[in-house]
Amino acid sequence: MKVRKAVFPAAGLGTRFLPATKAQPKEMLPLVDKPIIQYGVEEAMASGCDQIIIITGRGKQSIEDHFDVSYELETMLEQRKKTDLLHIVRSISDMIHVAYVRQKEALGLGHAVLMARELVGNEPFAVLLADDVIDNPVPALKQMVDVFNQKQCSVIAAQVVEGKMISSYGVFETAPAEGFNGRLFEIKNMVEKPKFEDAPSNLAVIGRYILTPTIFDCLAEIKPGAGGELQLTDGMRLLLKKEKMYGYIYEGRRHDTGDKLGFLKATVEFALKRDDLGAPFREYLKALKL
Ligand code: UTP
Protein backbone atom coordinates (compact mmCIF):
# COMPACT_ATOMS: atom_id res chain seq x y z
CA MET A 1 0.00 0.00 0.00
CA LYS A 2 1.21 3.50 -0.85
CA VAL A 3 0.58 6.79 0.95
CA ARG A 4 -1.19 8.95 -1.65
CA LYS A 5 -3.42 11.19 0.44
CA ALA A 6 -2.47 13.91 2.89
CA VAL A 7 -4.93 15.35 5.39
CA PHE A 8 -4.41 18.84 6.84
CA PRO A 9 -6.60 19.54 9.88
CA ALA A 10 -7.02 23.30 9.76
CA ALA A 11 -10.28 23.90 11.60
CA GLY A 12 -8.77 24.85 14.97
CA LEU A 13 -9.36 28.28 16.44
CA GLY A 14 -5.72 29.34 16.70
CA THR A 15 -6.17 30.97 20.09
CA ARG A 16 -2.42 31.22 20.72
CA PHE A 17 -2.15 33.68 17.86
CA LEU A 18 -4.97 36.09 18.70
CA PRO A 19 -5.78 38.75 17.67
CA ALA A 20 -4.22 37.90 14.26
CA THR A 21 -6.39 34.79 14.03
CA LYS A 22 -9.67 36.47 14.93
CA ALA A 23 -10.65 36.91 11.28
CA GLN A 24 -7.98 34.95 9.40
CA PRO A 25 -6.75 31.38 9.68
CA LYS A 26 -3.35 30.88 11.30
CA GLU A 27 -2.52 28.56 8.39
CA MET A 28 -2.54 31.62 6.12
CA LEU A 29 -0.05 33.67 8.16
CA PRO A 30 2.99 34.05 5.91
CA LEU A 31 6.51 32.93 6.70
CA VAL A 32 8.23 35.67 4.70
CA ASP A 33 5.82 35.56 1.72
CA LYS A 34 4.35 32.07 1.69
CA PRO A 35 1.41 30.98 3.87
CA ILE A 36 2.30 28.38 6.48
CA ILE A 37 -0.01 25.77 4.98
CA GLN A 38 1.70 25.97 1.59
CA TYR A 39 4.96 24.75 3.15
CA GLY A 40 3.08 21.67 4.37
CA VAL A 41 1.31 21.07 1.05
CA GLU A 42 4.64 21.29 -0.80
CA GLU A 43 6.16 18.83 1.68
CA ALA A 44 3.30 16.36 1.14
CA MET A 45 3.69 16.60 -2.64
CA ALA A 46 7.45 16.15 -2.43
CA SER A 47 6.78 13.04 -0.34
CA GLY A 48 4.64 11.40 -3.02
CA CYS A 49 1.12 12.47 -2.00
CA ASP A 50 -1.03 13.54 -4.94
CA GLN A 51 -4.27 14.23 -3.12
CA ILE A 52 -4.63 16.89 -0.49
CA ILE A 53 -7.58 17.02 1.88
CA ILE A 54 -7.94 20.11 4.04
CA ILE A 55 -10.30 20.09 7.03
CA THR A 56 -11.65 23.59 7.34
CA GLY A 57 -14.13 25.43 9.50
CA ARG A 58 -15.77 28.80 9.84
CA GLY A 59 -13.57 31.70 8.70
CA LYS A 60 -11.20 29.50 6.69
CA GLN A 61 -12.38 30.61 3.22
CA SER A 62 -9.04 32.21 2.40
CA ILE A 63 -7.34 28.79 2.45
CA GLU A 64 -9.65 27.64 -0.36
CA ASP A 65 -9.10 30.88 -2.26
CA HIS A 66 -5.35 30.50 -1.93
CA PHE A 67 -5.25 27.14 -3.72
CA ASP A 68 -7.89 28.19 -6.26
CA VAL A 69 -7.45 30.08 -9.55
CA SER A 70 -7.60 33.84 -9.21
CA TYR A 71 -8.75 35.00 -12.66
CA GLU A 72 -8.76 38.71 -11.88
CA LEU A 73 -5.26 38.64 -10.46
CA GLU A 74 -3.91 36.52 -13.32
CA THR A 75 -5.49 38.77 -15.95
CA MET A 76 -4.07 41.87 -14.31
CA LEU A 77 -0.58 40.37 -14.03
CA GLU A 78 -0.79 39.20 -17.67
CA GLN A 79 -1.82 42.66 -18.91
CA ARG A 80 1.00 44.30 -16.95
CA LYS A 81 3.46 41.68 -18.22
CA LYS A 82 4.46 40.69 -14.68
CA THR A 83 5.44 37.20 -15.81
CA ASP A 84 7.43 36.20 -12.73
CA LEU A 85 4.56 37.00 -10.40
CA LEU A 86 2.09 35.37 -12.78
CA HIS A 87 4.16 32.22 -12.67
CA ILE A 88 4.17 32.21 -8.84
CA VAL A 89 0.42 32.75 -8.65
CA ARG A 90 -0.36 30.09 -11.28
CA SER A 91 1.98 27.54 -9.78
CA ILE A 92 -0.12 27.53 -6.59
CA SER A 93 -3.46 26.82 -8.27
CA ASP A 94 -1.85 24.38 -10.73
CA MET A 95 -0.11 22.63 -7.87
CA ILE A 96 -2.47 19.84 -7.07
CA HIS A 97 -6.06 18.80 -6.58
CA VAL A 98 -7.26 19.92 -3.16
CA ALA A 99 -10.48 18.71 -1.54
CA TYR A 100 -12.11 20.39 1.43
CA VAL A 101 -14.21 18.97 4.22
CA ARG A 102 -15.87 21.20 6.70
CA GLN A 103 -15.70 20.46 10.41
CA LYS A 104 -18.75 22.30 11.66
CA GLU A 105 -17.53 22.57 15.23
CA ALA A 106 -13.96 22.44 16.54
CA LEU A 107 -14.50 19.18 18.45
CA GLY A 108 -10.84 18.23 18.48
CA LEU A 109 -8.03 16.99 16.28
CA GLY A 110 -9.32 13.40 16.41
CA HIS A 111 -12.73 14.58 15.22
CA ALA A 112 -11.09 16.63 12.44
CA VAL A 113 -9.21 13.55 11.17
CA LEU A 114 -12.40 11.49 11.33
CA MET A 115 -14.02 14.04 8.98
CA ALA A 116 -11.65 12.82 6.24
CA ARG A 117 -12.86 9.22 6.46
CA GLU A 118 -14.97 9.17 3.27
CA LEU A 119 -12.37 10.93 1.15
CA VAL A 120 -9.50 8.78 2.40
CA GLY A 121 -11.32 5.44 2.20
CA ASN A 122 -9.57 2.20 2.98
CA GLU A 123 -5.93 3.15 2.50
CA PRO A 124 -3.04 4.52 4.55
CA PHE A 125 -2.78 8.30 4.65
CA ALA A 126 -0.68 11.12 6.05
CA VAL A 127 -1.79 13.77 8.54
CA LEU A 128 0.21 16.99 8.66
CA LEU A 129 -0.29 19.74 11.23
CA ALA A 130 0.69 22.76 9.19
CA ASP A 131 1.87 24.64 12.30
CA ASP A 132 4.84 22.33 12.55
CA VAL A 133 6.99 23.56 9.69
CA ILE A 134 9.93 21.18 9.26
CA ASP A 135 12.84 22.33 7.18
CA ASN A 136 15.09 19.68 5.64
CA PRO A 137 16.44 18.79 2.18
CA VAL A 138 14.65 15.42 2.40
CA PRO A 139 11.16 16.30 3.66
CA ALA A 140 10.25 14.84 7.06
CA LEU A 141 7.16 13.18 5.63
CA LYS A 142 9.22 11.58 2.84
CA GLN A 143 11.50 10.04 5.48
CA MET A 144 8.41 8.62 7.19
CA VAL A 145 6.97 7.32 3.90
CA ASP A 146 10.22 5.37 3.44
CA VAL A 147 9.63 3.75 6.83
CA PHE A 148 5.99 3.02 5.98
CA ASN A 149 6.93 1.43 2.66
CA GLN A 150 9.12 -1.04 4.50
CA LYS A 151 6.97 -1.68 7.59
CA GLN A 152 3.40 -1.17 6.30
CA CYS A 153 2.45 0.09 9.77
CA SER A 154 1.49 3.50 11.15
CA VAL A 155 4.48 5.82 11.65
CA ILE A 156 4.43 8.87 13.93
CA ALA A 157 7.02 11.66 13.88
CA ALA A 158 9.13 12.05 17.00
CA GLN A 159 11.52 14.69 18.25
CA VAL A 160 13.91 14.66 21.18
CA VAL A 161 12.87 17.32 23.69
CA GLU A 162 15.27 17.82 26.59
CA GLY A 163 14.27 18.94 30.08
CA LYS A 164 10.98 20.23 31.42
CA MET A 165 9.65 21.31 28.02
CA ILE A 166 8.68 17.67 27.44
CA SER A 167 5.59 18.37 29.59
CA SER A 168 4.09 20.43 26.75
CA TYR A 169 3.94 17.45 24.39
CA GLY A 170 2.49 14.02 23.84
CA VAL A 171 5.30 11.66 24.85
CA PHE A 172 6.18 8.18 23.59
CA GLU A 173 6.85 5.10 25.66
CA THR A 174 9.19 3.16 23.41
CA ALA A 175 10.71 -0.23 22.66
CA PRO A 176 13.76 -0.68 20.42
CA ALA A 177 13.42 -1.34 16.67
CA GLU A 178 16.00 -2.25 14.04
CA GLY A 179 17.25 -0.10 11.18
CA PHE A 180 16.90 3.48 9.95
CA ASN A 181 20.12 4.57 11.69
CA GLY A 182 18.71 4.27 15.19
CA ARG A 183 15.89 6.71 14.34
CA LEU A 184 13.13 4.11 14.50
CA PHE A 185 11.42 2.73 17.61
CA GLU A 186 8.37 0.70 18.35
CA ILE A 187 5.64 2.59 20.19
CA LYS A 188 4.47 0.96 23.39
CA ASN A 189 2.26 3.82 24.59
CA MET A 190 1.68 7.56 24.34
CA VAL A 191 1.03 9.92 27.25
CA GLU A 192 -0.40 13.39 26.74
CA LYS A 193 1.53 16.22 28.46
CA PRO A 194 3.02 14.25 31.38
CA LYS A 195 4.81 15.85 34.33
CA PHE A 196 8.58 15.93 33.73
CA GLU A 197 9.11 13.26 36.43
CA ASP A 198 6.49 10.98 34.88
CA ALA A 199 7.53 11.31 31.21
CA PRO A 200 8.27 7.82 29.84
CA SER A 201 10.96 9.18 27.46
CA ASN A 202 12.30 12.42 26.02
CA LEU A 203 10.64 11.70 22.67
CA ALA A 204 7.74 14.00 21.79
CA VAL A 205 4.94 13.47 19.29
CA ILE A 206 5.25 15.96 16.41
CA GLY A 207 2.64 16.93 13.82
CA ARG A 208 3.36 14.37 11.10
CA TYR A 209 1.56 11.04 11.10
CA ILE A 210 1.16 8.19 8.67
CA LEU A 211 -1.87 6.21 9.76
CA THR A 212 -3.54 3.03 8.57
CA PRO A 213 -7.30 3.37 7.91
CA THR A 214 -8.03 1.35 11.08
CA ILE A 215 -7.60 4.68 12.89
CA PHE A 216 -11.06 5.70 11.66
CA ASP A 217 -12.73 2.83 13.54
CA CYS A 218 -10.70 3.77 16.60
CA LEU A 219 -11.69 7.45 16.39
CA ALA A 220 -15.34 6.48 15.95
CA GLU A 221 -15.10 4.36 19.07
CA ILE A 222 -13.43 6.70 21.55
CA LYS A 223 -15.20 9.17 23.81
CA PRO A 224 -14.31 12.87 24.14
CA GLY A 225 -11.24 13.32 26.36
CA ALA A 226 -9.43 16.36 27.74
CA GLY A 227 -11.32 19.61 27.08
CA GLY A 228 -14.37 17.74 25.76
CA GLU A 229 -12.48 17.18 22.50
CA LEU A 230 -12.00 13.99 20.54
CA GLN A 231 -8.26 13.47 20.91
CA LEU A 232 -6.17 11.94 18.15
CA THR A 233 -3.85 10.56 20.83
CA ASP A 234 -6.73 8.57 22.36
CA GLY A 235 -7.54 7.17 18.92
CA MET A 236 -3.90 6.21 18.37
CA ARG A 237 -3.74 4.55 21.77
CA LEU A 238 -6.65 2.34 20.73
CA LEU A 239 -4.94 1.69 17.38
CA LEU A 240 -1.89 0.45 19.34
CA LYS A 241 -4.04 -2.30 20.81
CA LYS A 242 -4.90 -3.52 17.29
CA GLU A 243 -1.73 -2.89 15.29
CA LYS A 244 1.99 -2.36 15.64
CA MET A 245 3.01 1.30 15.38
CA TYR A 246 6.39 2.95 14.93
CA GLY A 247 7.87 6.25 15.97
CA TYR A 248 10.50 7.86 13.78
CA ILE A 249 12.92 10.60 14.87
CA TYR A 250 12.95 12.66 11.67
CA GLU A 251 15.90 14.61 10.40
CA GLY A 252 15.16 18.31 10.12
CA ARG A 253 14.63 21.57 11.90
CA ARG A 254 11.13 22.08 13.25
CA HIS A 255 9.45 25.40 13.91
CA ASP A 256 6.25 25.65 15.96
CA THR A 257 4.70 28.44 13.94
CA GLY A 258 1.41 28.29 15.87
CA ASP A 259 3.28 29.94 18.73
CA LYS A 260 4.28 33.61 18.45
CA LEU A 261 7.94 33.14 19.39
CA GLY A 262 8.23 30.05 17.19
CA PHE A 263 6.70 31.99 14.32
CA LEU A 264 9.18 34.85 14.74
CA LYS A 265 12.16 32.48 14.84
CA ALA A 266 10.94 30.70 11.71
CA THR A 267 10.43 34.00 9.90
CA VAL A 268 13.99 35.11 10.66
CA GLU A 269 15.53 31.78 9.64
CA PHE A 270 13.56 31.49 6.41
CA ALA A 271 14.31 35.11 5.50
CA LEU A 272 18.04 34.60 6.09
CA LYS A 273 18.01 31.61 3.73
CA ARG A 274 16.41 33.52 0.87
CA ASP A 275 18.55 34.42 -2.15
CA ASP A 276 16.75 37.70 -2.67
CA LEU A 277 16.47 38.81 0.98
CA GLY A 278 19.11 36.96 2.98
CA ALA A 279 22.06 39.32 2.54
CA PRO A 280 20.33 42.66 3.22
CA PHE A 281 18.32 41.13 6.07
CA ARG A 282 21.51 39.79 7.68
CA GLU A 283 23.06 43.26 7.41
CA TYR A 284 19.99 44.76 9.03
CA LEU A 285 20.07 42.29 11.93
CA LYS A 286 23.77 42.90 12.49
CA ALA A 287 23.17 46.64 12.61
CA LEU A 288 20.74 46.14 15.49
CA LYS A 289 23.76 45.28 17.70
CA LEU A 290 21.66 43.32 20.17
P1 UTP B 1 -4.06 23.05 18.08
O2 UTP B 1 -3.99 22.26 19.31
O3 UTP B 1 -2.84 23.74 17.59
O4 UTP B 1 -5.24 24.09 18.25
O5 UTP B 1 -4.64 22.08 16.95
P6 UTP B 1 -5.57 25.36 17.43
O7 UTP B 1 -6.96 25.73 17.73
O8 UTP B 1 -5.29 25.21 15.97
O9 UTP B 1 -4.54 26.45 17.97
P10 UTP B 1 -4.37 27.07 19.43
O11 UTP B 1 -3.62 26.06 20.26
O12 UTP B 1 -5.73 27.39 19.96
O13 UTP B 1 -3.57 28.32 19.18
C14 UTP B 1 -3.80 21.18 16.28
C15 UTP B 1 -4.27 21.05 14.86
O16 UTP B 1 -5.57 20.47 14.81
C17 UTP B 1 -6.46 21.29 14.10
C18 UTP B 1 -5.86 22.67 14.15
O19 UTP B 1 -6.30 23.44 13.04
C20 UTP B 1 -4.38 22.38 14.13
O21 UTP B 1 -3.91 22.17 12.82
N22 UTP B 1 -7.79 21.16 14.73
C23 UTP B 1 -7.90 21.25 16.08
C24 UTP B 1 -8.90 20.97 13.96
O25 UTP B 1 -8.82 20.89 12.71
N26 UTP B 1 -10.12 20.82 14.56
C27 UTP B 1 -10.26 20.90 15.91
O28 UTP B 1 -11.40 20.76 16.39
C29 UTP B 1 -9.13 21.12 16.68
Q: What is the pLDDT of residue 147?
A: 98
Q: What is the pLDDT of residue 90?
A: 80
CA of 124 to the centre of ligand 1 (A): 22
16 lines ligand 1 (CB under 6 A): yes
Question: In the chain, where are the structural domains located?
Answer: 5-258
CA of 26 to the centre of ligand 1 (A): 10
- Return the top range by mean pLDDT from 10-19, 89-98, 263-272: 263-272
Atom of ligand 1 nearest to the CA of 16: 13
153 with 229: CB under 8 angstroms? no
Tell me if the pTM is above 0.85.
yes
- Ligand 1 pocket mutation pick from 107, 109, 131 by most atoms within 8 angstroms of CB: 109
pLDDT band for position 86 (50/70/90)?
confident
The protein residue with its alpha carbon nearest to ligand 1, atom 16, reads 109
Per this entry, what is the length of the chain?
290
Q: What is the pLDDT of residue 77?
A: 86
Partners of residue 208 on adjacent β-strands: 128
CATH topology assigned to domain 5-258: Spore Coat Polysaccharide Biosynthesis Protein SpsA; Chain A (3.90.550)
Rounded distance between C-alpha atoms, residue 78 and residue 91, angstroms: 14
What is the chain's mean pLDDT, rounded? 94
The answer, yes or no, to whether the previous bond of 19 is cis (omega within 30 of 0) is: yes
C-alpha distances (whole Å) from 230 to each of 114, 115, 241, 280 are 10, 12, 18, 47
CA of 148 to the centre of ligand 1 (A): 26
CA dihedral 180, 143, 163, 273 (to 10 degrees): 130
9 lines ligand 1 (CB under 6 A): yes
- Ligand 1 pocket mutation pick from 13, 28, 100 by most atoms within 8 angstroms of CB: 13
Asked if residue 262 has pLDDT above 80, the reply is: yes
Rounded distance between C-alpha atoms, residue 77 and residue 13, angstroms: 34
CA of 232 to the centre of ligand 1 (A): 11
- Kindly report, residue by residue over 4-34, the tens digit of the pLDDT: 999 999 999 889 999 999 999 999 999 999 9
Phi/psi for 49 (5° steps) reads -80, 135
20 lines ligand 1 (CB under 6 A): no
Residue range 138-153: average pLDDT? 98
Q: What is the pLDDT of residue 290?
A: 85
pLDDT band for position 222 (50/70/90)?
very high
- Find the range with the poorest average confidence among 96-100, 150-154, 218-222, 270-274: 96-100
107 with 230: CB under 8 angstroms? yes
Asked if residue 107 has pLDDT above 80, the reply is: yes
Q: What is the pLDDT of residue 248?
A: 98
Number of H helices, E strands in the chain: 11, 13
Atom of ligand 1 nearest to the CA of 11: 25
- Ligand 1 pocket mutation pick from 55, 131, 261 by most atoms within 8 angstroms of CB: 131
∠ CA(77), CA(78), CA(81), 5° rounding?
85
